[in-house]
Amino acid sequence: MHIADEFRKSMNWLHTWLGIALSGVLFAVFWMGSLSVFMYETDQWMMPEARGPAVETVSLDETVLPWLEQSDVSAEQSVFVVMPSVRKPLLRVGVFGGDNGPLNAYFDPATGKQVERTGTFGSSGFFYPFHYSLHINWQGLGYWIVGLAAMAMLTLVVSGIFIHRKIVQDFFSFRPTKALRRSTLDLHNITGLVALPFHILFPLTGITIFALVYFEGAALKPFKGEVFDYTREANGYYVIEPDGVAADPVQSVDGFIEEAEAIWTSRSGTPASADYIRIEAYGDTNSKVVIQHSGPRLQVARSQGRIVYDAASGEMEQDFQPAPIRNALSWLEGAHYMMFRPYHVRWLLFFGGLMGAAMIATGLLFWMRARIRKGLEPTSVRVVRALSVGSITGMIGASGAFLLANRLLPLDIDGDGRAYLEVLVFYSVWLLSFVHAAIRNKQAWRDQVWVIAGIAFLAPVLNWVSTGDFLTVSISQGQWAVAGTDLVILASGGLAVFAALRLKQTERVEAAKAQRRPVAGSLADAASVPAE
């Protein structure tokens, strides 16, 4: 065999088996990651109190500092403040550590008043962590599984490129009227090629972001294993310990923020605003105020800008600027986090992520149909199909059920109970989708796609009934986060209806073929698909 053919053959099996082994995880990660691109917009949909005109200037001296005094915060605790923005309209204050922590409070920046938040983790608290940890926190196992999947994805992309003899031709070949297996492969190739840069960007940057988890010992070798030395030199962090001597709590933070923003704006040439504030050693003589600027509005790169002030004297103690290679790493992180403001760029990345999910799903479907044609025994077919259906449509349906639960569950459930109930709904629906797929076998795809369509059409109605924000209302009020979420959900419903009808049509055609020719598959059709 020619060496190039032999290499292509080895890339073919690598692509197939690595893809099959991790396609379920990869689909979940890409799906949840795509949803996370607009997580703060979805949060506004899930938390009606967070809707409304965005006010980005707020006085922490008038809102947060009085609340801290009332809340008996001690010097051993760390206080953080997430500043409001167009995407995150509420001001959030958190306190962790100590006996009475963690504490959380939300303020409406327009009125300065504290807001009682809906009991939900929201998209940023559930979909987002799911995409990098799968919510498996035991020994950080979820991070490792996702890391393995990310590395596999990079390998899949490389091996996928080598497999294709006619990469340009594949780019323009989509034959939706051909046999389902053929059109599935066409769709796999197109989604793979059109969004190729994103298929490389997302896993590569994801691995980079969590490199300290995967390669902790090695990455810390230059620092002799001292993690604090690394975070200080690379990211400018340092430990602030209380002296143990009580002092008056910090009286003003607004002035520090104003000065820090002016420094960053003049340095970068684009408007820069503080988005994360920390108050360390509160009420101690060594109390410090840390002003961070991590998500620039008009830059892809995440900023590592951090200015530290002494709370008592008001003196600037640190003005950290990362070194060039760290900046390159920050660009990669920024390209993954997508916290920048231009919406159209984030839409591009959102569709890039969805194309990744579609590519993974079509790859799995193509492999499954190829196996069925090769005469896999009925029990194995049933198992493989149930796993595929549950991993793809089950995951999408469960995500929709999570949104429905958010609008249906009573608001007066105490504590985090309501939030955990939403999560319970998600996992129950996901689990049920596997059971349903095992029972319904071939019809499971169509059933579940119809369920997804139903959920998608019901969700905006429930949003309207529970909040009064009908689509026309949210558009007329300029609540684009809510209106956009409704529109995307409705569009998903339309797509699901189309898919369900197409599946029905395919089933009819296949049934007619089976009646005419009892032996499955024709030689001509088989020859049109490259051998695995």
Partner 1 sequence: MTALARKLPDWMDRTVRLALGLIGGYFVTNSYIGFTGVALSELGLARGEAASFAILTSAFVFVGLIVWSAATRRLFRTAIVVIASSIIMAICTPYLTAL
* Residues forming the site for partner 1 (CB under 8 A): 6-7, 10-11, 13-14, 17-18, 148, 151, 154-155, 158-159, 204, 207-208, 211, 215, 217-223, 229-230, 233-235, 323-326, 328-329, 332
**Residue number, 223 or 343, with CB nearest to partner 1:** 223
- Give me the amino acid identity at 59: S
**Residue number, 211 or 348, with CB nearest to partner 1:** 211
> What is the closest distance, in whole angstroms, from the C-beta atom of residue 213 to partner 1 in the complex?
11
**Residue number, 17 or 174, with CB nearest to partner 1:** 17
**Residue number, 7 or 96, with CB nearest to partner 1:** 7
> What is the closest distance, in whole angstroms, from the C-beta atom of residue 158 to partner 1 in the complex?
6
**Residue number, 66 or 222, with CB nearest to partner 1:** 222
> What is the closest distance, in whole angstroms, from the C-beta atom of residue 221 to partner 1 in the complex?
4
Helix (H) or strand (E) holding 309: strand 305-310
Q: 247: closest CA among 287, 279, 280, 277?
A: 287
> What is the closest distance, in whole angstroms, from the C-beta atom of residue 4 to partner 1 in the complex?
11
Query: CA of 48: how far to CAs of 54, 411, 425, 458, 467, in Å?
Result: 13, 11, 20, 17, 7
Rounded Cα gap, residues 532 and 529, in angstroms: 9
Query: CA of 478: how far to CAs of 35, 293, 346, 389, 471, in Å?
Result: 22, 27, 19, 38, 11
**Residue number, 218 or 509, with CB nearest to partner 1:** 218
Q: Write the DSSP assignment of 101-148 as a string of letters.
A: --EEEEE-TTT--EEPPPS--HHHHTHHHHHHHTT--GGGHHHHHHHH
| 248, burial (CB in 10 Å: exposed 0-12, middle 13-18, buried 19+) | exposed
**Residue number, 328 or 413, with CB nearest to partner 1:** 328
- Give me the amino acid identity at 448: Q
**Residue number, 217 or 378, with CB nearest to partner 1:** 217
Q: 232: closest CA among 313, 322, 168, 301?
A: 322
> What is the closest distance, in whole angstroms, from the C-beta atom of residue 229 to partner 1 in the complex?
7
> What is the closest distance, in whole angstroms, from the C-beta atom of residue 1 to partner 1 in the complex?
11
Residue entry with tokens 């975070």:
231
- 3-class secondary structure, 305: strand
Residue entry with tokens 């198992």:
383
Are 270 and 298 contacting, i.e. CB atoms less than 8 angstroms apart? yes
> What is the closest distance, in whole angstroms, from the C-beta atom of residue 127 to partner 1 in the complex?
25
**Residue number, 11 or 58, with CB nearest to partner 1:** 11
SS (H, E, C) 238-301: CCCCCCCCECCCCCCCHHHHHHHHHHHHHHHCCCCCCCEEEEECCCECCCEEEEEECCCCCCCC
> What is the closest distance, in whole angstroms, from the C-beta atom of residue 327 to partner 1 in the complex?
9
Q: Provide the phi-psi class of 241: left if phi over 0, else alpha when psi is between -120 and 50, else beta.
A: beta
> What is the closest distance, in whole angstroms, from the C-beta atom of residue 240 to partner 1 in the complex?
20
Q: Which two tokens stand for residue 452?
A: 């997804």
> What is the closest distance, in whole angstroms, from the C-beta atom of residue 157 to partner 1 in the complex?
9
Are 412 and 396 contacting, i.e. CB atoms less than 8 angstroms apart? no
**Residue number, 80 or 162, with CB nearest to partner 1:** 162
> What is the closest distance, in whole angstroms, from the C-beta atom of residue 18 to partner 1 in the complex?
7
Show Cβ contacts of residue 109 under 8 Å, excluding neighbours closer than 6 positions.
55, 56, 57, 58, 63, 84, 89, 90, 91
> What is the closest distance, in whole angstroms, from the C-beta atom of residue 207 to partner 1 in the complex?
5
> What is the closest distance, in whole angstroms, from the C-beta atom of residue 399 to partner 1 in the complex?
29
**Residue number, 153 or 307, with CB nearest to partner 1:** 153
Are 26 and 215 contacting, i.e. CB atoms less than 8 angstroms apart? no
Rounded Cα gap, residues 494 and 489, in angstroms: 9
- Rounded to whole angstroms, the maximal C-alpha distance in the chain is 89
**Residue number, 209 or 473, with CB nearest to partner 1:** 209
Are 185 and 159 contacting, i.e. CB atoms less than 8 angstroms apart? no
**Residue number, 330 or 479, with CB nearest to partner 1:** 330
Are 418 and 119 contacting, i.e. CB atoms less than 8 angstroms apart? yes
Q: 393: closest CA among 443, 347, 353?
A: 443
> What is the closest distance, in whole angstroms, from the C-beta atom of residue 168 to partner 1 in the complex?
23
Query: CA of 103: how far to CAs of 92, 111, 258, 378, in Å?
Result: 11, 21, 26, 55
**Residue number, 15 or 188, with CB nearest to partner 1:** 15
